Structure 1
Amino acid sequence: MIPRPSYRVSLALSFLAALIVANVSGPQYIYPTFGTSLNDRFNWSAVQNSFVSTACFVGVSFSGPLCAWMIETLRIKKTLQVSALLMFLGPFLVAQTYAGRLPDSFILCAFYLICTGIAGAAAYLCALDSQSHNFKQRRGLSMGLTTASVGTCGVVFSQINDLLFGSERYEKDAPTSNDSTYNFLIFIAFAMSAGILFGSFFLGPVQDHGRQQVIYQQIDEEQQPLEDVNTFEASSSAASVRDSIESDPLLDAGSKLEEDCPSETVISGIKVLKHPIGLALFSTLFVVLGIGYVYLANIGQILNAISAPGNSAESTQHARNLHITLFSLGNCGSRAFFGALSDVLRNKFGIHRLWIFVFALISMLMTLTWLVSTSTAAITPEKLVPCTVIISAAYGIAFGIGPAVTTEFGICSQLGHLPVCSCIW
């Protein structure tokens, strides 16, 4: 019989598994590493390419209710197993389409990538749910590291693509069924599904069986003295508790809460968008997240447009992986830095978190204005590096500040009835 691991070992394995699962749950950050090759292979139009390039992001963004239902119904282990299957099938079917073994319909490719996005979102929610259960006293740290692990997904796989699947490692005229893009798609299909499947063995609430045994023993020992308690003392205790409740009713707590938020009213439905903060939040997230991800998904096409005609495929691939790495690092670092900065500005100086959104919008607008106003011949991959860093920082601000603004917007007036703002987020 295999001995049961100790409680601390089980927690450590659960924590490590959550980080691994999170690190393979960001297909939307991996797509740019092979998206340009798909476009070159099938010669998609701009509209068709936009459908395919945003498919992973659509799967991640709009699968929240489905993923929550899966976790509630199937529990963490089975949800991860289903996610592993979808995560394998998505890139694998795209690889077979790239090799010419399946129909080259852009709609089918988009569908495969949407399934991949759904798998990533479900696995990520399982990792967060497990961390929330197992580290109740350290939720901020454990869930923060898990979120950061998703942010580094693009770093890990872009560097793997650069080091192990570079174009120089394959013949120049290699068939599409055995070139760098095909082999990289097969690799991520196996690697990401294996990482999620690994998590299914360790994620979930970890029970401290030794502590439960001690508690049960104490209850058995104390049961007999409790049966001999004097009836008069029990009734007196109940009466005192009742008097205490009557002297301090819940209405007082409700009145105190209303005093803390005297000027706020209940906001729901379309009224959220009519509120200045609600409208500002929606507009900012809509613009920053949309532009940020479109920039990331099309970084390969941007680099192809500004690269010199004589550049080799190896140098273009290296530049693309470098910018994906910088975007992922900027996104991850921005979440942590501006999240902490917003706390300091709000708590010490009373500056609303929305002003950081204003900074993100202005910086992104200035960067895009410079890109549009500068001729293509004057821009090089090296000059594009600051643009990638600034846009990634603005993109990270939306994820780092958005949840806090959403919560603070309705914490007093909604009392838990603010799913509308959560849907906007």
Structure 2
Amino acid sequence: MPLRHHHNATLAARTGSFLAACAVALVSGTPYLYSTYGNQLTSKLNLSGLASNVVAAGVHYGLFLSVTAMLLIAGYAGLSFTYGGLFGAGGVYAAFLFLVFVGMGSQCGYMVAVSTNNHNFHAARGLAMGIPIAGFGLSAMLFAQVSSHAYPDDTQGFLMFVSIAIGATILSAVPLLRIFAEDQPSSNREGLLEAQHRLVAVTDNSAIDEDEIMSPTSIGVGTGIGSIPICHGDSENHPAAAAAAAAAAAAHPQHRSQYNTRTSISRSDELLSDAEEEERRRTQEQERLIPVGGHQYAIIPGPTSPSQVSSPSSQSATVFSKPVAGFALFRTNREAQLMWLSVLLLAGPCLMYIGNAGNVVRSVYRDRFEGPSAEPTDDELVQLQKLQNFHVSMISLFSCVGRISVGLMSDIGKRGRGSWWGVDRVFFMIYAAVCTWLGQTLGAHTTTVEQLTGVSILVGLGYGSMFGVAPTIISEWFGQATFGTNWGWISLAPAIGSQSFNLIFGWLYDAEARHEHTKQCFGPECYRTSFVLGACSVLLGVLTLMYLAFRTKRATQSYWN
């Protein structure tokens, strides 16, 4: 009973930590809320299109360069005061600084939520990480709807509300966030050990040392990560290893009964938990992707000839070296470099549209009026605000759908030694890239507000899908112990891509506005070239991911063959 009470208490605490992580993530995705108030802030501070995009880039500097609660409270409260005119002519610099605070606080909250679930849920890591990641994507929709219904014409009050709501949520969730030690299925192991003793008594009528039964040298071909275990159900998948063991048993009749016993034990090992199978699969994936010589492990292969099977001196050893993470990993590992490049090429165009959705909506909406450059009426401003909130909500909603669905599907795809119908997690990245490319291509041909809905859906779905699976790939390929560091380096790619494409959008927007002799640009010409460049970037990203998929697929085949 005490053990059951302890298990229930641990389960409750783990559930509380999971919900707290989801709550933190839900209020940490507000950097994507910028388009809800960006036009109003730009008009209030009298900024050009390029200056507006420079200010907007501040949130992505903070978001991807990353207290959490304090930074977010200070960021949104500061924006509220800036909008109210507190900093006067220096408002543009203040707005940039406070958006950096917002981005840094959001990234801290995001990393806390994702890292907590990454450590606490091993068997279903994709789903456990996908839910808070989905909440992160849903954050902008949540607050955009609050803006539409509670603050339709009060931007300053809305920003102050966001500051208070985020701070209260995070401070309430902090006490529940915990890292739990991985469960040890001791009862399974004890039952398996007892079954092994019974099998030994029946087949051999002689005592076999418990350490000999459980040791890698007695039940597998080689030891360590580079060895080929015969137990754990691998004999069927490694016929060469099984044949070697059978040949050794035939050559030494005194070991035949032990071989039969071990064959029976291998079937018993199928009862091991899914978590152990997941951990074994993840370790094998790290082996084949991380090069020998110091990135994570140095592996010496086990014996291959039948004569070596039963020789303890011939068993291989695993040499553990210092883990390599961060810049050193991305400097030396080709898979890490390709992953970084693909995220750069995909995230840049996505964040360009996410940050400028308000500008695109305004350009299309005002273009249908006789005098688009004239001062809009109050009713037109309210309608424009609703349209902006709608598209922010669409981006956020489908980003959430992409994050959680791809996390779940990639978990299913990884069952069965890393493939499901031959599908690996990288192929879900390609799916995300295709959605993004379709969104950018449709954006280049959009001329009405109604057509923009498809752009928002596709870009949101592609962006969410990418960030629904990319963290899991980084964790599995390069180890969860260094996940935070490695994901931090990956996060530099969206920051660089966002800055580059936002500056391109702002420069082209201002160039078209000067051509029309207006301060603000109206019509499809304002954004068409930016979307074309975005589509080209994403197409390069698709090709990069296809090459990455080819490399990892080839590594998988060579590993199992």
* TM-score with structure 2 setting the length: 0.55
1:148-297 pair list within 5 angstroms = 148-167=134-153, 180-204=154-178, 244=215, 252-256=223-227, 265-266=291-292, 277-278=335-336, 280-297=338-355
Deviations 1:90-130 (A, max 9, x none): 11111111111124342332111111222222233333455
1:292-311 pair list within 5 angstroms = 292-308=350-366, 309=369
1:24 paired residue among 13, 22, 27: 27
1:331-342 pair list within 5 angstroms = 331-342=399-410
What is the CA distance between 1:312 and its match in structure 2?
0.6
2:40, 2:155 within 8 Å by CA — same for their partners in 1? yes
The aligned amino acid for 2:137 is G
What is the CA distance between 1:57 and its match in structure 2?
2.2
Asked which structure has the greater CA Rg, the reply is 2
Change (3 A) 1:356 1:273: farther
Change (3 A) 1:386 1:274: farther
In 2, the alpha carbon distance for the partners of 1:130 and 1:275 equals 26
1:406, 1:422 within 8 Å by CA — same for their partners in 2? no
What is the CA distance between 1:49 and its match in structure 2?
1.5
The aligned amino acid for 2:357 is I
Corresponding residue for residue 261 of structure 2: none
Corresponding residue for residue 315 of structure 1: 383
Gaps of 5+ in 1: 1-5, 64-81, 168-179, 208-235
In 1, the alpha carbon distance for the partners of 2:487 and 2:152 equals 44
The aligned amino acid for 1:153 is S
What is the CA distance between 1:139 and its match in structure 2?
5.8
Corresponding residue for residue 173 of structure 1: none
In 2, the alpha carbon distance for the partners of 1:355 and 1:130 equals 26
1:402 paired residue among 453, 459, 470: 470
What is the CA distance between 1:370 and its match in structure 2?
3.8
1:365 paired residue among 426, 430, 437: 437
Gaps of 5+ in 2: 1-8, 182-207, 230-237, 239-283, 296-323, 370-375, 492-561
Q: Secondary structure at the match of 1:255?
A: coil
In 1, the alpha carbon distance for the partners of 2:161 and 2:359 equals 23
Is 1:381 aligned to 2:366, yes or no? Answer: no
The aligned amino acid for 2:86 is R
Corresponding residue for residue 51 of structure 2: 48
Is 1:329 aligned to 2:402, yes or no? Answer: no
Corresponding residue for residue 57 of structure 1: 60
Corresponding residue for residue 110 of structure 2: 124
In 2, the alpha carbon distance for the partners of 1:422 and 1:320 equals 31
Corresponding residue for residue 213 of structure 1: none
1:272, 1:421 within 8 Å by CA — same for their partners in 2? no
Change (3 A) 1:181 1:418: closer
Corresponding residue for residue 72 of structure 1: none
What is the CA distance between 1:335 and its match in structure 2?
1.9
Corresponding residue for residue 281 of structure 2: none
RMSD: 4.0
Corresponding residue for residue 217 of structure 1: none
Corresponding residue for residue 86 of structure 2: 101
Deviations 1:202-230 (A, max 9, x none): 333589xxxxxxxxxxxxxxxxxxxxxxx
In 1, the alpha carbon distance for the partners of 2:15 and 2:332 equals 47
Change (3 A) 1:142 1:362: closer
In 2, the alpha carbon distance for the partners of 1:262 and 1:304 equals 50
Q: How many residues align?
A: 356
Deviations 1:3-22 (A, max 9, x none): xxx77765555444333222
Is 1:113 aligned to 2:87, yes or no? Answer: no
What is the CA distance between 1:265 and its match in structure 2?
3.7
1:10, 1:206 within 8 Å by CA — same for their partners in 2? no
Change (3 A) 1:363 1:88: closer
Deviations 1:310-355 (A, max 9, x none): 6711111111111111111111111233344445497232244444
